[in-house]
Chain A
């Protein structure tokens, strides 16, 4: 593989490209031969349950870990041989963000800004105002959610071409979470690439163009969010005024499972639920409750029997 010494902005180029990227911790494989391509200008959601290897991947991309096999290219540069140059172009939020507790938000952000060669103060205060962060308070006195805001500001403050965010909305209240998602969309609109990891599907669905799903250290699928949504298993609880029309419901295409409890039916459906609703409606539906299509179900829908 040839290494281009200059970062490239060609739209056809990948912002992130890994080849058989692996990381062993002692005898266990934290990451197992991951081939991942994230095109520039996209929001990419990196999904997986806790311990699947999301943080390991991210720390390898950041140059904080050395791969035990394979390689990672970020913005056209090999991470291992250009660590500082790669890091300078990334806005990074670690999964376990820890700042100096005795510094105020402003002191901390200015300090990191200085180490990055200077960051516009107005940009720091602008981002902080958007997220409702008080910069005069010491980081140690802030709640978990407010500390996370400090982490977000430092990731965005130098307007990097690539943002790598590990569980970014952890601890954020819904309003701030919405503001954060619009910051991500704005970054994409400005041509930046955003790589965000999460174990919450809804968060990724709301903003990502495509997702990669990681399981047990292996990348099991890379899909556009749309096609993932179509294939996702959803869980629906239908409560009827009369007895549950089990047969009619079971006959609907996409219904994978049905469990009846008194006048309620718990259904597992693949893809759209529109047909199911129209079949159920004439039987007198008293209540419909949609249960979040969790990642686990998506895993099960694709890889139920595999590991």
Chain B
């Protein structure tokens, strides 16, 4: 039935992916369906002027009068990055450290498969999960956009989805790398969450505090959201996100190959 660690993992993820994809996709659709009534609001500018300046900056509310700006404010500045972070971190921590903590790795790792190959199968499964989640949400929002005739360029939506997908992947791979290093789900979740929260604080503070602004560039959230992300096109800086995840793995894998399992 399953011929590899990868296919077994994808079998395990099937229901979770379906639920996450459906729920988040439907929220995306809902936002798209709300867009026409927002667009047609006669006194939208006046309404937005009532928002505090800080919120207008953080959620890019000024741009809400365009469909790209609307999606950024409603989906891409908080909801989708948050969901991709949660999905990436929880699954990244569960796939290796979670199995190790519950003793399930003991027998899988004494088969003919090497530890590094085992870990790479898990990396592939995490990556495919996150990509398929992004594709599902993209399809929901894209089709809904066509239905309400939102006039949203497909490439812009794709760029936005790529950005939040990479954000989830970066933190997911980071959680997995910490799991490979330590065998602890708590550490894996904790370190990756701390990086995510720290990144968000740095990004948000950089918007308001001039002294912090130069350091914003170190924040993964900055890499993901600074361009919009809808409306800013595909940016080379997006590639930093998976790259950081890959570097974390490259550091963790040799240690995983050598360390004690499940102590």
Contacts and interface: CB of A to CB of B under 8 A. Distances in A.
Interface of A: 25, 59, 62-66, 84, 87-88, 90, 92, 94, 96-100, 102, 107, 110-112, 114-117, 154
A64 B104 CA distance: 13
Contact of B110 (A65, A90, A97, A99): A90
Contacts of B263: 25, 65
A111 B106 contact: no
Contacts of B55: none
A97 B110 CA distance: 13
B144 to A, nearest CB: 34
A59 B5 CA distance: 22
Contacts of A99: 104, 107
Contact of A92 (B12, B104, B110, B259): B110
B11 to A, nearest CB: 9
Contacts of A98: 102-104, 106
Interface residues of B, number: 25
A64 B2 contact: no
B120 to A, nearest CB: 14
Contacts of B110: 62-64, 87, 90, 92
A44 B1 CA distance: 36
Interface in B85-116: 102-104, 106-114
Nearest to B102: A98
14 contacts: A59-B261, A64-B260, A65-B260, A66-B259, A84-B112, A87-B110, A88-B111, A88-B112, A92-B107, A92-B110, A97-B107, A100-B12, A116-B112, A154-B107
Given A25-B263, A66-B258, A102-B12, A115 B104 contact: no
A97 B107 CA distance: 8
Contacts of B154: none
B197 to A, nearest CB: 31
Nearest to B4: A114
Most-contacted residue by chain A among B3, B111, B260, B261 (CB, 10 A): B111
B259 to A, nearest CB: 7
B118 to A, nearest CB: 9
Contact of A115 (B1, B12, B111): B111
A59 B109 CA distance: 12
Dominant secondary structure at the B interface: loop
A84 B260 CA distance: 15
Most buried by A among B5, B104, B106, B110: B110
Given A87-B109, A111-B1, 10 more contacts: A59-B261, A62-B110, A63-B110, A65-B260, A88-B112, A92-B110, A99-B107, A111-B2, A115-B108, A116-B111
Contact of B261 (A65, A84, A114): A65
B232 interface: no
B262 interface: yes
Given A64-B261, A64-B262, A66-B260, A107 B2 contact: yes
A115 B102 contact: no
Nearest to A23: B260
Nearest to A113: B111
A106 to B, nearest CB: 8
Nearest to A86: B110
B39 interface: no
Contacts of B113: 84, 115
A64 B108 CA distance: 11
A64 B111 contact: no
Contacts of A116: 111-112
A68 to B, nearest CB: 10
Closest A-B pairs by Cβ, 10 of them = A115-B111, A98-B103, A87-B110, A64-B261, A65-B260, A94-B106, A116-B111, A88-B112, A114-B3, A111-B2
A25 B110 CA distance: 22
B260 A110 contact: no
A87 B106 contact: no
B107 A94 contact: yes
B9 to A, nearest CB: 11
A64 B112 contact: no
Nearest to B261: A64
Contacts of A63: 110
Nearest to A80: B258
Contacts of B5: 115
Contact of B111 (A25, A59, A112): A112
B217 to A, nearest CB: 40
